[in-house]
Structures are given as C-alpha cells and as structure tokens.
C-alpha cells in the first residue's frame, strides 16, 4: 500500500491535469483557502475586466455601453456561457438578481403552473428539507404566507423520507442538490422522477453544485433551477445568481416580479406589462453591471476544462482529506458528517467537534481558511481549479497540531459572519 505522506501529495499534484489552472487565480501567499464553496477566489483577469468596465465602459462610453459594450445582453450572454456546466441548453439561463430572489420567482411560477391543473385545490404542499439553506425555506414561507391560498411547507428530516413524503398533495419539491452543511448530494434524476410520478414539479438549488459537481438538468428532467455565481463559479462577492427555465416551461413561466426587463419590448415604454416569450422573462430590472461583468472571468476558466475533470479531482481531494483527518487526527473527537459514498458527496467536507467554532478560528489564524456552520460543524470546501493535494496535506497537519496542542480559545466570541 502506498504511504500517504507529503511527498506522495506532491506527486499527485505533478500528475494533476488541472494543476495549471491554479495560476489563473489570485491566491494570497501563506493561505490555504478551503472556503471557495462560500466565496470563490479571484480570477486574475477579473482585475483587468474591472478596470475595463470602470475606466472604459462606464468612464468613457457612459450610456453608450448599454449597446456598445453589450451591457443589456449580459444576463443572457453569461447565462449561455454557464449553461454547459449544468446541462442546460442555450437561451435557458439568465444571470440576474440573487439566489433568494430567483427562488422566489421559480417557486411563484411553479405554483402558478400547478394552480392551472384540475387537482389544484388539493395540491398545496411544498416539500423541502429542514436542513436546507435557510433562505430557501424562508423564501417559500414568505411567498406562501403572502399568497394566503392554503399552501404549506412540509420539511423532511432526511433524504430517505422524500419518497414517502411526496404524494398527490405535493405541488413542488424544492431541494438543494448539495446540502450546504453536510455536503450530501441528492440523486437529481431519481428524486425528480419521484416528484413527476406524483404530478409535482421539481426545483433544484445548485448553489453548491454549479462548478463543483457534474449536473445535467435536462438528463434529470428537472423543472427549474437556481444557483449562486459567487461560490464555485468564482464570480465575486455578491455576484448575481442564475436561474434556469427549460424551453418546455418557458411559455408557462410567470412570476409576480414583472419588471421592465421581462417585458417583450422594454423600450416601447408601454403602460402595461407584456411578458417576453423567451428566458428574459425571468429578469426583473436593471442589473448591477459592474458585479455582473466579473462573472465572465470565472466562467472562462471553466471553459478550459470539463466538469468531469473537475469532479474527478474534487473526489480525489475530498477522499484524501477524509482519509488524512481520520488517520492523523484519530485521537480527537471529530465525526464525519459528509457521506463517504462518491454518489452522495458534493465538494466540501464537514466534521463536527465540540469546539468547532474555536478550532476554525484558530485554523484561520494559522492560514487555513474553512468556516463554521451551526450546529458544531467545521466545513472545508475543495475547489479543484485551485486547491492542490499538498495543500490538503498541509491543512490536515495544521488541524492536527491545533488539536494536539489545544491551541484554540474555547471561549472565543463569535463574529457576525461565521
């Protein structure tokens, strides 16, 4: 059996097909960044792109840039660049607004489609997971309360409960493909089929999937999807999110945020809303162009590889991390939360520890940046475009030393953002 040591990890890096892409990113010296699942690193070309947008497009060309620099088409043009990463077709994705707002639009549209059906009066349940990212639950809560049409949320406590929970009363199954906390990866094809067999629609949140795991929305026959651009896609802090509506649902896709960017003729300035037939109906109003423009820099890097290569390395990194933590930190009370099976694992790994928050803060002090999530979870994200196997080794050694020497402050105060 091969001994796994630092030398072995250096060898893995030498044969890593994605190793060259690391140089495309600005990575601070002395930092092992394991939080690209929360905020992706900066593509180096983003700086030039920002300069171009600020100095030329805004600074020199001003209003002309809506046409000349293609600002007006940016949501669809970037959506088309993103599409291949998630198994979407061209003209099915726009990059716009936040994930929360896109969830609102997609939930509203799904409920509207269901309300046209003969059994609408009894099909009133939205199913999701209690462990879903809170904003997904909150947006569904907010919309259904506000609609006041008898819709209710059913929160399941484990993925195994889904198949028995989904029934003829289910209007919508709304799931996050990779759980933000545990890293659990749902079988999108299987769950979507279960939902469809009961007449329900299926909305997938790809916040922790896009750019991290292989996704094929068409193959899975999914109905709608949304996701973040500032995580694995490296679009920059607060970058606008994406929304996918397949061609087959576009004509029926109606949401209440009927701003002028979703109008068939925005510059006709008509006194009444007339929805555009295409994917731009998912838009609402003027986009944050400076932030939106940064997203292309991240997508260009993905264009140099394939999601299967990204996925293969992601599994290599997470396998290595799990194995090293479990062997080298074996005497410490760390419990793996993330599934071991490749088919059920996203691209981050979570462990519980009694002093999880304090340990994460100590690691950050020592240059290993992961994050903390309630309850008691240390979360480490692995981003195949710029994380090396040697960094995994070094991160685990720093974790081991921190635990061995108990060099963390168990009474540390929490920051506002954990």
Ligand X SMILES: *Cc1c(COP(=O)(O)O)cnc(C)c1O
The yes-or-no answer on residue 379 being catalytic is: yes
Say if residue 418 carries a ligand binding annotation: no
Q: How far apart are CA 275 and CA 277, in angstroms?
A: 6
The distance of closest approach from Cβ of residue 150 to ligand X in the complex, given in angstroms and rounded to an integer, is 26
Catalytic residue among 16, 205, 223, 371, which?
205
Among 4, 72, 91, 100, binds ligand X (CB under 6 A): 100
Mask: binding to ligand X, 141-180, rule CB under 6 A, as x and -? Answer: -----------------------------------x---x
Per-residue x/- track, 209-238, ligand X (CB under 6 A): -------------------x----------
- Residues facing residue 352 across a β-bridge: 335, 377
Does the footprint of ligand X cover residue 136 (CB under 6 A)? yes
Contact region with ligand X (CB under 6 A), list: 53-61, 132-140, 185-193, 215-223: 132-140
CA distance 23 to 19: 8
Query: Could you give the residue ranges of the DSSP H alpha helices within 71-229?
Result: 74-82, 99-115, 134-147, 162-165, 188-197
Q: Say whether 231 is catalytic.
A: yes
**For ligand X, which is the closer residue by CB, 228 or 320?**
228
Smallest gap from residue 378 Cβ to ligand X (A): 17
Q: Confirm whether 104 is a catalytic residue.
A: no
By CB under 6 A, the count of residues binding ligand X is: 13
Considering only residues 115, 135, 306, 344, which one is a binding residue for ligand X as defined by CB under 6 A? 135
Binding flag, residue 321, ligand X (CB under 6 A) = no
- Annotated binding residue 133: yes
198: contact with ligand X by CB under 6 A = no
257 binds ligand X (CB under 6 A): no
- Counting other chains too, the contacts that 49-58 makes at CB distance below 8 Å and 24 or more residues apart are 49/293, 49/294, 49/296, 49/297, 50/290, 50/293, 50/294, 53/289, 53/290, 53/293, 54/290, 57/289, 57/293, 58/289, 58/290
Pair 106, 306: CB distance under 8 Å: no
Contact pick of 205, 223, 371, 391 for ligand X (by CB under 6 A): 205
Question: How big is the chain, counted in residues?
Answer: 418
Q: 261 labelled as ligand-binding? A: no
Given candidates 25, 104, 133, 232, which one binds ligand X under the rule CB under 6 A? 133
Tally Cβ neighbours within 10 Å of residue 122.
Answer: 11
Q: Does the annotation list 13 as a binding residue?
A: no
16 counts as binding ligand X under rule CB under 6 A? no
Q: Return the number of the residue (224 or 389) whose C-beta is nearest ligand X.
A: 224
User: What residues contact 323, with CB distance under 8 A and at least 6 apart?
Assistant: 4
> Which residue from 52, 98, 258, 344 is in contact with ligand X, where contact means CB under 6 A?
98
Q: Is the CB of residue 119 less than 8 Å from the CB of residue 199? A: yes
Nearer Cβ to ligand X (38/361): 38
Whichever of 40 and 325 has its CB closer to ligand X, that residue is 40
Kindly state the smallest distance separating residue 239's Cβ from ligand X, in Å.
9
| Catalytic residue of the set 104, 151, 224, 230 | 230
Q: Is 318 annotated as a binding residue?
A: no
Q: Is 204 in the site for ligand X (CB under 6 A)?
A: no
DSSP 11: H
**Residue 295 near ligand X by CB under 6 A:** no
- Least separation in angstroms between residue 118's CB and ligand X is 33
Nearer to ligand X, 22 or 208 (CB): 208
**Phi and psi based region of residue 298 (left: phi greater than 0; alpha: psi -120 to 50; beta: remaining):** alpha
Spatial separation of the C-alpha atoms in residues 275 and 257, rounded to whole Å: 11
362 forms beta bridges with: none
Q: Cα 322 to the chain's mean position, in Å? A: 22
Minimal CA–CA distance to 201: which of 234, 219, 175, 177? 175
Q: What's the Cα-to-Cα distance from 291 to each of 54, 60, 98, 373, 409, rounded to whole Å?
A: 11, 18, 12, 27, 37
Strand order in the sheet with 201-205: 93-96, 241-244, 224-227, 201-205, 170-176, 125-129, 152-156
Question: Closest approach of Cβ 348 to ligand X, in Å?
Answer: 11
Annotated binding site: 99-100, 133-136, 176, 205, 208, 230, 260, 286
Tell me the catalytic residues. 133, 205, 230-231, 379
- Chain residues that interact with ligand X, rule: CB under 6 A: 98-100, 133, 135-136, 176, 180, 205, 207-208, 228, 241
Annotated binding site for pyridoxal 5'-phosphate: 99-100, 133-136, 176, 205, 208, 230, 260, 286
């Amino acid at each position: 059996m091969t001994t796994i040591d630092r030398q072995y990890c250096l060898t893995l890096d030498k044969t890593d097909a994605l190793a060259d892409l690391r140089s495309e990113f600005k990575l601070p010296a002395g930092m092992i960044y394991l939080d690209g699942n929360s905020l992706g690193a900066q593509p180096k070309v983003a700086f030039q792109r920002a300069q171009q947008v600020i100095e030329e497009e805004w600074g020199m060309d001003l209003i002309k840039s809506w046409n000349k620099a293609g600002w007006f088409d940016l949501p669809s043009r970037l959506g088309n660049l993103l599409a291949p990463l998630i198994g979407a077709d061209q003209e099915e994705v726009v990059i716009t607004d936040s994930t929360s707002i896109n969830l609102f639009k997609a939930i509203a549209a799904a409920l509207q489609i269901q309300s046209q059906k003969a059994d609408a009066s009894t099909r009133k349940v939205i199913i999701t997971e209690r462990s879903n990212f809170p904003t997904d639950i909150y947006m569904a809560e907010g919309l259904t309360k506000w609609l006041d049409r008898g819709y209710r949320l059913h929160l399941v406590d484990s993925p195994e409960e889904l198949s028995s929970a989904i029934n003829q009363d289910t209007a919508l199954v709304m799931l996050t493909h990779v759980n933000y906390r545990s890293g659990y990866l749902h079988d999108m094809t299987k769950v979507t089929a279960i939902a469809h067999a009961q007449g329900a629609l299926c909305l997938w949140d790809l916040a922790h999937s896009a750019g991290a795991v292989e996704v094929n929305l068409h193959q899975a026959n999914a109905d709608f999807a949304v996701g973040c651009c500032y995580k694995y896609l490296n679009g920059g802090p607060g970058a606008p999110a994406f929304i996918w509506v397949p061609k087959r649902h576009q004509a029926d896709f109606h949401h209440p945020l009927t701003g002028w960017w979703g109008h068939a003729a925005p510059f006709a300035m008509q006194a009444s809303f007339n929805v555009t037939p295409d994917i731009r109906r998912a838009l609402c109003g003027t986009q944050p162009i400076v932030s939106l423009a940064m997203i292309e820099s991240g997508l260009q890097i993905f264009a140099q590889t394939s999601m299967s290569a990204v996925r293969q390395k992601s599994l290599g990194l997470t396998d290595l991390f799990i194995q090293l933590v479990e062997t080298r930190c074996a005497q410490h009370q760390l419990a793996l939360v993330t599934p071991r099976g490749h088919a059920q694992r996203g691209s981050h790994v979570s462990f519980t520890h009694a002093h999880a928050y304090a340990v994460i803060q100590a690691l950050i002090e020592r240059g290993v940046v992961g994050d903390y999530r309630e309850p008691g979870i240390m979360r480490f994200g692995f981003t195949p475009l710029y994380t090396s196997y040697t960094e995994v080794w070094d991160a685990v050694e720093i974790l081991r030393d921190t635990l061995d020497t108990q060099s963390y402050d168990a009474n540390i105060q929490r920051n506002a953002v954990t």
